[in-house]
Chain A
């Protein structure tokens, strides 16, 4: 059973529950007190000791249900009665006496153990044999769906498929009826093994598969991902947001030992006549980032803006204040829309208001300067997300210069590759002179790095 528990912990890790060695020891100790008698209590025990949040509890619950539901060996309906003697847990001891029950006593004597087991339809013995063979084939190492065939083959080999084939060949000559039965039973066995392997893949392979998928997704250009991947991408963005939150939401007050805060020290020690028993030290306040984001939502940049806005607005624990604006031909403020609605609905509304037009950077900057220039303070980081393709209209770089002068930093994120900046109607080189940083930002990974750097400048 210890072995089984270890396998379960492995499966739990696969399901995304972080199980440290210390936690697995705790779970073991708990289980040793609780016992295996009651499955519900066992489930509760694992949920209490291993899972540390509600998401993890859900994932672990599913994993538990999957892990402890073994695929049942297929049972031949006509042979059902014989499977009744379920006391024979041990695959080795069972056959000799049980085989006398079956009509073909002398026939089966000469067959291999697997063939005998199949003919007897002893479900427990078959389950046990599959479990043993899975262990021998180290099934828990399965990682990718392409490995299913290999592992099925290994398990069947470990169960003695070779011997069974020989038996089948012999029987077809001597006893065709029995051979047919054996063939049917073998097909059933193959099915059961396939189910076992599929289940193992679900249990142990999930993490790898997810990592692989996320890795691909992280480096895929945001502007060109397929609609079916949008949901996965949103999940990935949320994951990135969580990571950034964890990294940057550390306390903002840091005690600076060495500089005595005389005023506070005197006040605190007033009760003892100003004798300084308690000292107070000067503290240094760190500002939380204030961000003003201007997002181009025309054409191909729209998708990137969508994910960028999702990321920025999931950072509320790290970022003090975000004002976001969207533009293509003209500019509107988004903060209220994003606050009230779900990401999907908000994006649809934004698109219906300003989306998909041909972009006019000059006019949009002009809108911003007239309406919201005072939102920029010396603590603000201004982020412009756009391809800087202004359709040969006046780029109004002078407004961008004034924005840069008012703000702490001006960061330009461009989804296009550096090679294309400045070609065609791209005004990137002209805008770049006023920006503190210009980065390419086409994939989730680049997005993460860009936002991480922006937040890090405030630490």
Chain B
């Protein structure tokens, strides 16, 4: 499966991702295809747990490339994201090379001469050997290309966005002491955001903007099928139908795809063959993460189960 060549068509992307267990909607596949065609990063937005991070992993697995992940948080800065000087190593080397330096500068009569001689050796201590590459720089240095996942960019500070602009538009970074480092092979960049804050226009402009919402029922059934193979078709239909009913409620946190998959696993473990009131009531805490939400959903359960089962008969 692993090949580095870009996919020839949208269908190829779709089937390639499917082989890795990621069932992509048409729009997702189009985004992935376009991003490699016109070499632009993808900014993925959507609620938690719909598979934003998973998408990057699937692309990496499908194209057999390394995935480099940069988890964003408040206070993330250049030194942790881009590169850092190995101060300790620099210090150590100056100590070790002290004698050598003495030899080199031995011939010098005056301080001025010594300084001039020192200049001829260039910036030995600010060379590539002393740079500690952090995720962004690592991604540029991969000869075979890679998938760079910048996760939850909305958690980082606004300044950090500006830092990303150069890398996103030209796939290069500028290190003042060394000059500009360009990517050997342009990485596939995926940025994810939970829309906790509005991202800057400059960042958005450089990306393809993909919004992944909750999937349609058919698609979600296929996702469950690929992720939890042991589940029977009847149960799968019923549970996905039930979750779609739950999502119509006004809840604090709606169950997303990851919850669906967890729930499917739980149901398989409990050896359920079809949804009934008892089992739903016992496992509701897998789906809903707030006590208030569970309280709000409880009176509706019977109706939802009935509806989901009916759907099964007709559809």
Interface set, chain A 426-455, CB cutoff 8 A to B = none
Measured between alpha carbons, how far is A271 from B87 in the docked complex, in Å? 11
Q: Is A247 an interface residue (CB 8 A)?
A: no
Q: Contact between B27 and A33 (Cβ–Cβ < 8 Å)?
A: no
**Contact among B38, B91, B210 with A33 in the assembled complex (CB-CB below 8 Å):** B38
For A23, give its contact among B34, B157, B197, B205 (CB under 8 Å).
Answer: B205
Q: Is the CB of B31 within 8 A of A48?
A: yes
From 214 to 272 in chain A, residues with beta carbon under 8 angstroms from any chain B beta carbon are 245-246, 249-251, 271-272
Stretch at the interface among A38-46, A150-158, A180-188: A38-46
A312→B49 CA distance, assembly (Å)? 33
Q: How far is the CA of A250 from the CA of B161 in the complex (A)?
A: 13
Contact between B205 and A44 (Cβ–Cβ < 8 Å)?
no
A20 at the interface (CB under 8 A from B): yes
**A22 and B205 contact, Cβ closer than 8 Å, known pairs A40-B26, A272-B91:** yes
User: Are B87 and A277 in touch, CB under 8 angstroms?
Assistant: yes
- Chain B, Cβ-Cβ closest to A253: B157
For A118, list chain B residues within 8 Å (CB). none
B201 proximal to A (CB < 8 A):
yes
Residue of A nearest to B40 (CB): A26
Contact between chains at B210 and A48 (CB < 8 Å): yes
Binds B, one of A50-58, A127-135, A199-207, A294-302: A50-58
Residues of chain A contacted by B34 (CB below 8 angstroms)? 30, 33-34, 45, 48-49
B155 shortest CB reach to chain A, Å:
14
- Is A317 among interface residues, defined by CB-CB distance under 8 A? yes
**Would B198 and A52 count as touching, CB distance under 8 A?**
no
Q: Is the CB of B38 within 8 A of A20?
A: no
Chain B residue at minimal CB-CB distance from A269: B87
Chain B residues near A278: list those with CB within 8 A. Answer: 87
Query: Across the interface, do B30 and A45 meet the contact criterion of CB distance under 8 Å?
Result: yes
| A47 within 8 A of partner (CB) | yes
Assess whether B26 is in contact with A51, with CB atoms less than 8 Å apart.
Answer: no
Partner of B201, one of A29, A41, A52, A250: A52
Contact A251 B204 (CB under 8 A): no
The answer to whether A53 and B209 have CB atoms under 8 Å apart is yes
Q: How many residues of B contact A (CB 8 A)?
A: 25
User: In the complex, what distance in Å separates the CA atom of A275 from the CA atom of B91?
Assistant: 10
Complex: how many Å from CA A52 to CA B205?
8
The yes or no answer to B170 lying at the interface (CB within 8 A) is no
Q: Which of A20, A22, A29, A52 contacts B209 (CB 8 A)?
A: A52
A20 touches B205 (CB 8 A): yes
Q: 0/1 per residue, A1-45, Cβ < 8 Å to B?
A: 000000000000000001010110010011001100000110011
List, in ascending order, chain A residues with CB within 8 A of B198's CB.
245-246
Q: Which residues of A contact B30 (CB under 8 A)?
A: 34, 41, 44-45, 48
Q: With an 8 A cutoff between CB atoms, is B116 at the interface?
A: no
The docked-state distance in angstroms from the alpha carbon of A23 to that of B202 is: 11
CB < 8 Å neighbour of A41 from B10, B197, B205:
B10
**For residue A48, which residues in chain B have a CB less than 8 angstroms away from its CB?**
27, 30-31, 34, 208-210
Q: Mark B16-39, 1 if CB is under 8 A from A, else 0.
A: 000000000011001100100110
**B38 x A29 contact (CB < 8 A):** yes
B211 beta carbon closer than 8 Å to chain A: yes
Interface size on A, residues (CB 8 A): 32
**Chain A nearest CB: distance from B247 CB in Å?**
17
Q: Which of A22, A250, A275 makes the CB contact (< 8 A) with B158?
A: A250
B88 at the interface (CB under 8 A from A): yes
Bound-state Cα–Cα, A87 to B180, Å:
57
Separation of A250 and B200 alpha carbons in the complex (Å): 11
| Contact call B205/A57, Cβ cutoff below 8 A | no
Chain B residues whose CB sits within 8 angstroms of the CB of A250 once the complex forms: 158
Query: In whole angstroms, what is the CA distance A30 to B32 when docked?
Result: 12
Complex Cα gap A20–B87 (Å): 44
Which residue on chain B has the smallest CB distance to residue A277? B87
Give bound CA distance, A346 to B37, whole Å: 51
Residues 305-319 of A, flagged 1 when their CB comes within 8 A of B and 0 if not, give: 000000000000100
Give the residue among A20, A44, A249 with the most B Cβ atoms within 10 A: A44
In the assembled complex, B276 has its CB within 8 A of some CB on chain A: no
Please give the distance in Å from A64's CB to the nearest CB on chain B: 14
Interface string of B113-141 (1 = CB under 8 A from A): 00000000000000000000000000000
Q: Is the CB of B38 within 8 A of A26?
A: yes
Q: Which residues of A contact B10 (CB under 8 A)?
A: 41
Residues of B185-224 whose CB lies within 8 A of A:
197-198, 201, 204-205, 208-211
Please name the 10 residue pairs, one residue from A and one from B, whose CB atoms are nearest each other, closest first. A52-B204, A44-B30, A33-B37, A277-B87, A48-B208, A29-B38, A44-B27, A52-B209, A30-B34, A48-B31
24 inter-chain pairs at a CB distance below 8 angstroms, sorted by A residue, are: A26-B38, A30-B34, A30-B37, A33-B34, A34-B30, A41-B10, A41-B26, A41-B30, A44-B30, A45-B34, A47-B27, A48-B27, A48-B30, A48-B31, A48-B34, A48-B208, A48-B209, A49-B208, A49-B209, A52-B201, A52-B204, A246-B198, A250-B158, A277-B87
Q: Which residues of B contact A (CB under 8 A)?
A: 10, 26-27, 30-31, 34, 37-38, 40, 45, 87-88, 91, 157-159, 197-198, 201, 204-205, 208-211
